[in-house]
Structure 1
């Protein structure tokens, strides 16, 4: 018998969690085994630098296409296509024996992930209009788990799989499972995530206090332009500050994912220990995802917490610079606390916008801008390290980037909404 009701909150949360978990391993699984990949495929140091920079660049470029794609396919189908593309490319890339093909398939896989990066926040707004903190926490926690897992188990997975190729391909199977689960959500959504213009059916209440958008409201979302639709998102100071906050945080994150294991290994630590330390940085985002989502929604002192993140970043990089192997776990914990800026930025996408269409525009704006910055970061760090043969200047640059990150975050913490700023500019 056909189910005429929409999805439960549990199904929505599980589907978002599964999708989020698969949006990072394609990027973070490369860093811990970069030396093995470089040797196995005969990559030059320049090619290795491109590989570490690829996540930021592809998340930026493909992120620009996510919102236009969603207008043609619908938000849900666009995410599903992205998950399927990532799964196929991640499964294939280790086995074709070519550095060029490996980089190309990595770029395509990251493109699929970029679609989810941009559109999942709009899915959250579709199902919960007024209090998105729970699903935002689920999403950021899933991203943290997916980012941390390849780092934490890199050494074990390499040994168990018998080589870097099957160890990398393992993460493609996660995307297969997530794509299948997302298909279940699409089947149960009954039009809520379908192609714009299609009249959705009545849906089940996902949250007791917050009914989903009605059919009439969903048609308005699909067919009627927002009053500020033609106003440039650059007219919103909050959106611009959020883009730079997100970008500086992402720059730090992808430098850490791409190079931190090598920094620790060059200091004398083993692959397993080095990747586990970088995993500590990422795994702190698991509880941090829910904590920061709650703080963004409820704390009147958000600027205080953001300032603290910047200070933790400064202390962590100082430790890596002067005493990298003395208490390496302390520096990893400090950098992990500073990296809570990432779930903070994600929660602010939904918290600083009200209308799902504005949420999609904000997400589609800050993520390409932010990830473009993040792409140049690892590339620049790799080039400087190659020129100098030292990690001193790269670490000093990363330390310095923590200050403007905190300043832009404090500006977003003021509580203004992008909807209001765009309406005022219209």
Structure 2
């Protein structure tokens, strides 16, 4: 009796490979997103140890805490051009390897200048990823921008929380060695390289090269792009001030150091479920103004409550403000929804993030000056409420059903 072995058809084999490559792509996006803030959030918990270990003064410590904004603003703007030259896969591999080198090298640097240089190197990878990932999602998941943005913004929030939560326990586990506690974060960064190294999509290579040859230019001529810069800057300013100054506010209003740390951890953790919900809801709507108005409106309720509230009221304001931080995953979603092509997404993302982070960088500095001059929190939070109002106005424009490429075509006529 002869047994006939049925071989899979070529089309079935190609389909199976396509599914495998799709999962590698999803894994690459999620693992990369988890590492985008590692170089930032591993510094704050150990800032005192870093300063004493390196003999860093307050001015240089201020430079260190400002580096993320400068890196995200400067290097993010170069990402579309680098992507056209290298291709998205190679660009992300290089970005993650650059991040890995910076994470290790700075952890074992014994001079302040080298620590700052290698910190900038580590941050460069995150700056590139900030812009590249939305474009990857637009190119490879054009019909699933909402779910994929949900996935990677959630992964980004989880990675941020894990790094912030575990850096100090790792330092204790390593017998007070803060260098090892910082350097260990190279492991997830290197792990994120693996799916990109394995991923191939040869069927799209010719199409991708043709698309890359026609970049979207002169983005600043679009009112949508300008409004996106302002909105991104305002919501990022509020976020940077929250992460940098919220614990001090809680201590000034009667909380202990441990209580303030717990409240900050809760505030960070709220972003995880919010990141899971906001992009999917927004992507189902043609007009995202209801979502945007709700989130910014929560800022206008929560920010005053943080200053004026005590006890349970302050906790409630913390939760409300934490939910309002959903403006970040919302604007990531809008990068894809307000463009018609991956090139448009990359151009809009780069333009908005570069300009927006420059605006955001002024926030913590201005809040510090106002806090020192007034010896209170009324003036700093008045600044944040003003930022939320500006976000409300600009958000009303960017959340409507319109496209970057259409506005640029009209401007060219």
State TM-score, norm by structure 1. Answer: 0.84
Gaps of 5+ in 1: 191-200, 203-213
Q: Is the 8 A contact 1:246 1:367 kept in 2?
A: yes
Residue in structure 2 matching 1:236, options 222, 231, 256 = 222
Cα gap change, 1:111 to 1:54, in 2 (>3 Å): same
Match of 1:9 in 2: 22
Match of 1:182 in 2: 196
Match of 2:361 in 1: 375
Q: Using the alignment, how far apart are the partners of 2:373 and 2:384 within structure 1?
A: 17
Residue in structure 2 matching 1:312, options 298, 312, 331 = 298
Match of 1:344 in 2: 330
Task: Encode CA deviations 1:320-342: one digit per residue, 9 max, x unaligned.
Answer: 32346665533331221111000
Residue in structure 1 matching 2:157, options 141, 144, 159 = 144
1:415 and 2:405 are equivalent in the alignment = no
Q: Using the alignment, how far apart are the partners of 1:282 and 1:390 within structure 2?
A: 24
Q: Using the alignment, how far apart are the partners of 2:300 and 2:41 within structure 1?
A: 23
Residue in structure 2 matching 1:101, options 114, 117, 128 = 114
Q: Using the alignment, how far apart are the partners of 1:180 and 1:269 within structure 2?
A: 44
Aligned length: 396
Partner SS for 1:27: helix
C-alpha RMSD of the superposition: 2.5
Q: Using the alignment, how far apart are the partners of 2:126 and 2:272 within structure 1?
A: 19
The structure that has the greater radius of gyration is 2
Q: Using the alignment, how far apart are the partners of 1:16 and 1:289 within structure 2?
A: 15
Choose between structure 1 and 2: higher helix proportion. 2
Match of 1:211 in 2: none
Q: Using the alignment, how far apart are the partners of 1:160 and 1:301 within structure 2?
A: 50
Residue 94 of structure 1 deviates from its aligned partner by 3.0
Task: Encode CA deviations 1:331-378: one digit per residue, 9 max, x unaligned.
Answer: 331221111000000000011111111111111111111111122222
Match of 1:222 in 2: 212
Residue in structure 2 matching 1:399, options 374, 377, 385 = 385
Q: Is the 8 A contact 2:282 2:291 kept in 1?
A: no
1:274 and 2:260 are equivalent in the alignment = yes
State TM-score, norm by structure 2. Answer: 0.87
Partner SS for 1:97: coil
Q: Is the 8 A contact 1:309 1:340 kept in 2?
A: yes
Partner SS for 2:184: helix
Moved more, 342-351 or 36-45: 36-45
Q: Is the 8 A contact 1:49 1:378 kept in 2?
A: no
1:68 and 2:68 are equivalent in the alignment = no
Cα gap change, 1:215 to 1:44, in 2 (>3 Å): closer
Partner SS for 2:67: helix
Q: Is the 8 A contact 1:129 1:354 kept in 2?
A: no
Moved more, 379-388 or 253-262: 379-388
Residue 221 of structure 1 deviates from its aligned partner by 0.8
Q: Using the alignment, how far apart are the partners of 1:79 and 1:142 within structure 2?
A: 17
Pairing 1:19-418 to 2, within 5 Å after superposition: 19-153=32-166, 155-163=168-176, 164-184=178-198, 188-190=199-201, 201-202=202-203, 214=204, 217-223=207-213, 225=214, 229-230=216-217, 232-265=218-251, 267=253, 269-299=255-285, 302-323=288-309, 328-387=314-373, 390-418=376-404
Residue 389 of structure 1 deviates from its aligned partner by 5.0
Q: Is the 8 A contact 2:42 2:167 kept in 1?
A: yes
Q: Using the alignment, how far apart are the partners of 1:395 and 1:35 within structure 2?
A: 26
Q: Using the alignment, how far apart are the partners of 1:98 and 1:327 within structure 2?
A: 45
